[in-house]
């Protein structure tokens, strides 16, 4: 039990440290693992069932989900790209240009 409590304290401290270094924004679980080497299986399910629970316990606001792009914006952007290229774009061009809308 003592090791688990020690790990919990370390994780909470690391979340706070990374959030502070990132303008108050808590790291996502993958960024946290990349920065600290602490993997999901180190804390799940013994300490938390969700990453957001760990973030909240560290005193940070949960990260927001990305919002969907409306169909109208998506279609207008696609049409604009077709006009610019004067042909239908291939997948690589969609990733480079189209997804920047």
Q: For the segment 25-62, what is each residue's pLDDT rounded down to a tens digit?
A: 999 999 999 999 999 999 999 999 999 999 999 999 98
- How far is Cα of residue 2 from the mean position of the Cα atoms in its chain? 31
Measured between its terminal Cα atoms, the distance across the chain in Å is 49
| pLDDT above 80 for 87 | yes
Q: Tell me whether residue 43 is exposed, middle or buried, using C-beta atoms within 10 angstroms of its C-beta: 0 to 12, 13 to 18, 19 or more.
A: buried
Mean per-residue pLDDT, 72-78: 90
Going from N- to C-terminal start, the domains of the chain cover: 2-57, 71-100
The single residue listed with the structure tokens 């990453």 is 51
Residue 6 to residue 22: CA distance in whole angstroms: 24
Does residue 92 or residue 101 have the better pLDDT? 92
């Amino acid at each position: 039990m003592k090791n688990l409590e020690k790990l919990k304290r370390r994780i909470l401290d690391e979340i706070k440290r990374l959030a502070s270094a990132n303008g108050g924004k808590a790291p996502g679980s993958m960024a946290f693992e990349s920065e600290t080497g602490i993997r999901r299986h180190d804390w799940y399910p013994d300490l938390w069932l969700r990453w957001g629970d760990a973030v909240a316990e560290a005193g940070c606001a949960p990260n927001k989900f990305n919002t969907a792009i409306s169909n109208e914006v998506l279609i207008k952007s696609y049409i604009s790209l077709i006009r610019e290229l004067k042909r239908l774009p291939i997948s690589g061009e969609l990733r480079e240009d189209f997804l920047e809308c």
